[in-house]
Structure 1
Amino acid sequence: MTTRILGIDPGLATLGFGVIDTPAQEAESGVKVIDFGVISTPAKTPVGERLCTIYDDLHSLIDQFQPDQVVIEKFFFYRMGNTILVAQARGVVMLVLAQYQLPLTEFTPAQVKQALTGYGKADKAEVQQAVAHELNLDQIPRPDDAADALALALTAWFQR
């Protein structure tokens, strides 16, 4: 039996998601990418409407993919103007996950970098290359937010 992991890179303008299936036994090979992408909200739309879009679209994703586990990036401070908006989007994500009673794991960016590259201060390109390598993809997943979400999902699998 496989475990389906949904990785979420929270954001208000762009929320990345990545869904992987992991093998039931360590001896089995092959993590499979099921889907990845973003939930986007237009900048000129009122914040409340943008949060509703995230809420509705995340419900749709969970209904569609039925994850066993969800992992999201642990919040840390960005530029001050962006911090509150990201926190609001993250709050909506946490609400939806609580409604589904899904197990939640959180990782900091440094933990993800360490898990995927062996170096907690790796740059974004190194992490993205590791994601493509681990998932046997011909190219780095785009956009970056989706690649980050897949990196989170892989980190959860590595940390099992």
Structure 2
Amino acid sequence: MIVLGIDPGLATVCYGVVSCDEKTRLALVDYGTILTEAKEQFPIRLKQIHQGIGQLIDMFHPDCVAFEELFFNKNVTTAINVAQARGAALVAASERMEELYEYTPLQIKQAVVGYGRADKHQVQIMVKTLLSLKDIPRPDDAADAVAVAICHAHSARTAGILNTKIK
């Protein structure tokens, strides 16, 4: 199984691609970013995200795409813009496949670290450890996207414990 994990954002959308075999052995395929420029018009930035996600799906042919759910507790304007960027990514993915899933930050941390309140550095260290990497994926949000993919790989093998499919 190939899982594309997405950590949505407006300036930076991070992705992580992980393969998982029938014994839940994980391997990193790729990770990186889709960048949009702040000086660009907002609709153009959304289009770039949409196209970028489409290109990733066309390139890696994942069996499913897993998204991190948004969590904001301060800046409403930022939350709305990031939500729109996430929407552009969701539409791009849904145009190409039906297997779309979402996980809360708590679920991702629980699946990767074993503790839902783990800090960002703990998640990064576990991503590095679980995938036997020399270094932590950079930027930090790329490690988060890889963690989303790992979370889904683990959850997909745990029959029905998490009902996370986007409907």
Q: TM-score range by the shorter chain?
A: over 0.9
Structure 2 residue corresponding to 1:70, chosen from 65, 72, 87: 65
User: 67, 84, 87: which is aligned to 1:88?
Assistant: 84
* Aligned CA-pair RMSD: 1.1
Paired residue for 1:57?
Answer: 52
Task: Write the distance in 1 (CA, Å) between the matches of 2:98 and 2:9.
Answer: 20
Q: Superposition pairs for residues 111-122 of structure 1, below 5 Å?
A: 111-122=107-118
Give me the identity figure in percent: 44
Partner amino acid for 2:118?
A
When the two structures are superposed, what TM-score results if normalisation uses the length of structure 2?
A: 0.89
- Work out whether residues 21 and 31 of structure 1, in 8 Å CA contact, stay in contact via their aligned partners in 2: yes
Q: Paired residue for 1:20?
A: 18
Name structure 2 gaps, 5 residues minimum.
157-167
- Structure 1 stretches (4+) deviating beyond 3 angstroms? none
Query: Partner residue of 1:158?
Result: 154
Are 2:121 and 1:125 aligned?
A: yes
Once the two structures are superposed, the pairs formed by residues 1-40 of structure 1 within 5 Å of their partners are: 3-26=1-24, 30-40=25-35
Using the alignment, how far apart are the partners of 1:94 and 1:37 within structure 2? 18
Per-residue CA distance 1:43-96 (angstroms, 9 max, x = gap): 111111111111111111110000001100112224222101111001111111
Q: Contact 2:51 / 2:92 at 8 angstroms: preserved in 1?
A: no
Aligned-pair distance for 1:20? 0.9
In structure 2, how many angstroms separate the alpha carbons of the residues matched to 1:31 and 1:115? Answer: 13
Unmatched tracts of structure 1, length 5 or more: none
State the distance in 2 between where 1:157 and 1:50 align. 30
Number of residues paired by the alignment? 155
Aligned to 1:44: 39
**Residues 25-47 of structure 1: CA distance to partner in whole angstroms, max 9, x if unpaired?**
34xxx311111000000111111
Three-state SS of the structure 1 residue aligned to 2:142 is: helix
Deviation at 1:110, TM superposition (A): 0.8
State the TM-score, normalized to the length of structure 1. 0.93
SS in 2 for 1:20: strand
* Per-residue deviation, residues 84-112 of structure 1 (Å, max 9, x unmatched): 11110011111111111230111100111
Q: What secondary structure does 1:146 align onto?
A: helix
CA distance in 2, matches of 1:70, 1:57: 14
